[in-house]
Structure 1
């Protein structure tokens, strides 16, 4: 039958049907699918149904460190929370108790959200976490309870969050 003619000034659009690789944000995210069930030998969290959870580990479970334990072993936090100021120093025990309670609640629901360390520095207090969401949540909980100044600095390339609270 007939041939198609191309209209004048027609410009063909080039197709780009390639799959782009997603930028890797978290070096500690497990890249391969773990066999189920898998248990973390450090904390006994169980990888089941595609996520880490607190359940009883079956006797025949595979073993693999969870991302939180691997961060703790490597001393490589994802979140840094700095607390400082006169108000903090005068209410330090009360604020740190709030921090511990917040972490306990989050850890019970999300096994990968843990505090790595708490340490007193010169005039401040540093809390390191295995997850950026925990650092942010703790900072927001302190800010909600005691107001003050709260700042966030997120480094997307390293999946790192620095939270600073002072009052």
Structure 2
């Protein structure tokens, strides 16, 4: 038994929507390979920023996105730490945070702390150069000391806000 199947051409109405980038510090053009950050010494090579043992001789110079954010004082995200437990264990929690960020920074040169300051309320606010760091650092603190972690990704501002308290 033979079945005659006919196909009709249907115009598709769905389309791929181009993802909107909210990071103004991401370069829209590809940097020349190699490019050296004149501030921190990170090298853009192989399509990404990385640390190199030997600095390239014939490299173009610019500022990497992390150094540019630090210079402009425009963080990609914040982590706020609060609570009586935090106030009692501030030094050891901050040591954990600095160790976590330093481990990330050895693999990913753009992941750094911009600033740490204490608000009038006594809460500590840490600003970061990368969108992923507030979440990662907040999770590291929560895993080590429990507590409550909240993460907000507001679309309009493009800055991640995380808060941990205990």
Give the alignment's TM-score, normalised by structure 2: 0.88
1:27-59 superposed Cα distances (whole Å, 9 cap, x missing partner): 111110000100000111000000000003211
CA distance in 2, matches of 1:17, 1:57: 48
* Cα separation, partners in 2 of 1:19 and 1:94, compared to 1, 3 Å: closer
Equivalence for 1:45 = 42
Q: Which runs of 5+ in 1 are unaligned?
A: 1-6
Equivalence for 1:152 = 151
Equivalence for 2:117 = 119
CA distance in 2, matches of 1:150, 1:81: 10
Aligned runs of 1:5-154 on 2, under 5 Å?
A: 13-15=10-12, 20-55=17-52, 56-122=54-120, 123-154=122-153
Larger Rg: 1
| 1:60 positional shift | 1.1
CA distance in 2, matches of 1:158, 1:57: 36
Asked if the contact 1:26–1:158 (Cα under 8 Å) also holds between the matched residues in 2, the reply is: no
* Cα separation, partners in 2 of 1:94 and 1:35, compared to 1, 3 Å: same
How many residues matched? 159
Q: Which runs of 5+ in 2 are unaligned?
A: 1-5
Asked if the contact 1:83–1:165 (Cα under 8 Å) also holds between the matched residues in 2, the reply is: yes
Give the alignment's TM-score, normalised by structure 1: 0.88
In structure 2, the residue corresponding to 1:163 is in which secondary structure?
strand
Structure 1 runs of 4+ aligned residues shifted over 6 Å read 16-19
In structure 1, the residue corresponding to 2:132 is in which secondary structure?
helix
| 1:117 positional shift | 0.4
With 18-27 and 97-106 compared, the bigger mean Cα shift is at 18-27
CA distance in 2, matches of 1:91, 1:63: 42
